[in-house]
């Protein structure tokens, strides 16, 4: 248990106590704002009179979304710090870790206040070009750098063991893989989706496919996942058109070793929410472009991984056939995981503002599109292509 749960008023004294932090920012002239709006943690944005800034993030001993009645290990902060360090060494698209207090479970993070959360930008109709592709490159860099592409088998197994994150994985197992498909009291939809959700709940192919994805998540250790790579876990600044795009993933507290397709699938489902929302708002071209990011990000991912491949540690044990065999399996996994995420963000406990902020008529269209896409992504995952998913998304959301 942390010695204390920080308040804004206590942050200056906390910073003054830590040598690393007081070198970075002046605790005597500090302004502090608690801005945490996620499901789990406290987040303090700190600025001093000279304009220096950093962010403190403290893991609460419970799930903030629900309250103290859902206790949650603060060790997640240790796992998040480790993931930020490892991912940050492999990719520029990761929020910087400045300091970690393993007694207080407090991470000091690079201030990205000049960025905005990608989901917020997407919901406001802002530029998305290049973001999915940069994230796909980040995932390819991590997939190569934390797997047997770069590590000995012994190192790989040790890394996977060190990254064990059972409590946070249990949240994912429950909320992403079990509850939307097998039912739970904390599921909910607005009345317009009742009939469709009931139809899907009776559809054994849908739930069996989700159970297969749960099995894959539970039993596959390929790479150090971010573990929660939705569009609310990404900061963006600038745009590709002006050549000043900055993309930074943050919040990898769900990190663990898992199947490479997991992060891609989470990201894709959230891009599909953004696209179906755009279609419902009458922005057809934007919707098509968002659906198209599945293809462009998959292409970016495979190109980046293939680019790394000649530099692999042991080509004699991992011939080209190894990668050639893995890529179709990663793609099918990504579709399956996207299908789980599409369903759980529509019916489960942790929903998305892309859908939830819509009026009832648009909610009905977008929610139905995402539930039907969930079925397609799950049941047809072995034969789909990103382009076919985009076509299905267009047809279901009325973008065409």
Binding site for Mg ion (CB under 5 A): 38, 251
186 binds ligand SR1 (CB under 6 A): no
Cβ-based nearer residue to ligand SR1, 63 or 210: 63
Closest distance of CB 253 from ligand SR1, Å: 8
Neighbours of 234 (CB within 10 A): 29
> Among Mg ion, ligand SR1, none, what binds residue 175 when CB lies within 5 to 8 Å by partner kind?
ligand SR1
Diameter of the chain measured on Cα atoms: 61
Cβ-based nearer residue to ligand SR1, 14 or 118: 118
Q: How far apart are CA 240 and CA 236, in angstroms?
A: 11
Closest distance of CB 232 from Mg ion, Å: 7
> Among Mg ion, ligand SR1, none, what binds residue 171 when CB lies within 5 to 8 Å by partner kind?
ligand SR1
Neighbours of 23 (CB within 10 A): 10
Q: How far apart are CA 38 and CA 251, in angstroms?
A: 10
Q: How far apart are CA 136 and CA 132, in angstroms?
A: 6
Q: Is 325 exposed, middle or buried (0-12, 13-18, 19+ CB in 10 A)?
A: exposed
Cβ-based nearer residue to ligand SR1, 119 or 128: 119
Closest distance of CB 251 from Mg ion, Å: 4
255 binds ligand SR1 (CB under 6 A): no
x/- track of binding to ligand SR1 for residues 215-254 (CB under 6 A): -------------x--------------------------
Which ranges constitute the DSSP H helices of the chain? 11-17, 19-24, 76-90, 118-123, 131-145, 153-162, 166-172, 179-182, 194-201, 204-219, 261-280, 284-308, 320-347, 353-356, 360-379, 386-397
120 binds ligand SR1 (CB under 6 A): no
Cβ-based nearer residue to Mg ion, 85 or 157: 85
Own/partner pairs, 152-157, CB within 8 angstroms, 24+ separation:
152/313, 152/314
The owner of tokens 């008023």 is: 9
59 binds ligand SR1 (CB under 6 A): no
Q: Is 272 exposed, middle or buried (0-12, 13-18, 19+ CB in 10 A)?
A: buried
Closest distance of CB 110 from ligand SR1, Å: 20
Closest distance of CB 277 from Mg ion, Å: 20
Among 63, 90, 97, 140, binds ligand SR1 (CB under 6 A): 63
Structure tokens at 224: 């150090």
Closest distance of CB 37 from ligand SR1, Å: 11
Q: How far apart are CA 24 and CA 51, in angstroms?
A: 11
356 binds ligand SR1 (CB under 6 A): no
Give the residues lining the site for ligand SR1 (CB under 6 A): 39-40, 63, 65, 171-172, 175, 228, 350
């Amino acid at each position: 248990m942390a010695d204390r749960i920080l308040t804004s008023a206590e942050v200056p004294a906390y910073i003054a106590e830590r040598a690393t932090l007081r070198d970075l920012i002046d605790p005597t002239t500090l302004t502090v704002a608690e801005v945490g709006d996620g499901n789990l943690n406290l987040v303090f944005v700190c600025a001093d009179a000279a304009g220096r800034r950093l962010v403190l993030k403290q893991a609460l001993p419970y799930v903030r979304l629900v309250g103290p009645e859902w206790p949650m290990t603060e060790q997640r902060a240790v796992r998040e710090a480790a993931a930020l360090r490892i991912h940050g060494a492999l990719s520029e698209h990761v929020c910087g870790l400045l300091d970690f207090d393993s007694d207080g479970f407090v991470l000091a993070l690079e201030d990205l206040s000049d960025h905005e959360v990608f989901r917020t930008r997407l919901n406001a109709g802002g530029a998305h070009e290049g973001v999915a592709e940069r994230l796909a490159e980040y995932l390819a860099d991590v997939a190569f750098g934390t797997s047997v592409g770069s590590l000995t088998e012994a190192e790989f197994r040790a890394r996977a063991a060190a990254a064990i994150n059972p409590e946070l994985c249990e949240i994912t197992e429950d909320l992403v893989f079990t509850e939307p498909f097998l039912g739970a009291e904390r599921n909910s939809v607005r009345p317009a989706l009742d009939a469709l959700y009931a139809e899907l709940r009776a559809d054994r192919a849908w739930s069996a496919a989700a159970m297969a994805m749960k099995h894959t998540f539970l039993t596959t250790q390929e790479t150090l996942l971010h573990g929660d790579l939705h569009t609310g876990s990404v900061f963006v600044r600038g745009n590709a058109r002006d050549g000043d795009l900055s993309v930074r993933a943050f919040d990898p507290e769900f990190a663990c070793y898992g199947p490479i397709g997991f992060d891609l699938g989470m990201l894709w489902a959230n891009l599909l929410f953004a696209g179906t929302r755009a279609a419902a708002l009458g922005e057809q071209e934007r919707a098509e472009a968002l659906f198209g990011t599945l293809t462009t990000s998959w292409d970016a991912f495979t190109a980046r991984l293939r680019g790394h491949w000649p530099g692999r540690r042991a080509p004699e044990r991992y011939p080209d056939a190894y990668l050639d065999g893995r890529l179709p399996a990663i793609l099918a996994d990504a579709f399956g995981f996207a299908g789980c995420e599409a369903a759980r963000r529509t019916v489960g406990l942790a929903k998305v503002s892309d859908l939830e902020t819509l009026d009832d008529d648009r909610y009905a269209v977008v929610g139905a599109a995402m539930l039907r896409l969930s079925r397609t992504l799950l049941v047809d995952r072995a034969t789909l292509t990103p382009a076919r998913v985009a076509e299905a998304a267009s047809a279901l959301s009325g973008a065409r």
